[in-house]
Amino acid sequence: MIQRIQTIYLLIAAGISAGLIFVFPLWSMNEGTEFFAQMDIIYFGLFLGSAALSLISIFMFSNRKSQFVLGRLNIILNFILLGLFVYRSLNLSGETDVSEKGIGILLPIFSIVFLVLANKAIKKDEDLVKSVDRLR
């Protein structure tokens, strides 16, 4: 059913991954220019991939097991994105390129939180259906 709470969580995760990357910068350069996710094809592709997985997962409501698996894959994708951000911020020597980290680096964490909440709701629905099947 599309009107379940996991749909709201997945829509929020998709909105974070697809919409907020244009609003919040990942970091600021020394020159004062802000670096957004769409300026690098890898970050942009991973954010859009995460949003696409969330939207695909919304319409897989009839197959809860595959919806749950897509949610886990999306969590892994966001952890990879977060790992790339940590690698980028720790790999720089001194203040050569990045002078200030932005709130955009935290977007995968917020997305992971909503994806975990969605997976908990999907699991709850699956357990409810299994308990009803046992009574029949």
Tell me the one-letter amino acid at 132: V
Run of H or E including 22:
none
Q: Is 35 helix (H, G, I), strand (E, B) or coil?
A: strand
| Stated pTM of the model | 0.87
Please write the tens of the pLDDT for every residue from 112-128.
999 999 999 999 988 88
Whole-angstrom Cα distance, residue 98 to residue 126? 46
Q: Is 100 helix (H, G, I), strand (E, B) or coil?
A: strand
Pairwise pLDDT comparison (126 vs 51), residue with the higher score: 51
Q: What is the average pLDDT across 47-63?
A: 92
Q: Where are the alpha helices (DSSP H) in 30-106?
A: 41-58, 64-91
Copy the structure tokens of residue 16: 């974070």
Please write the tens of the pLDDT for every residue from 76-107.
999 999 999 888 877 765 555 556 777 888 89
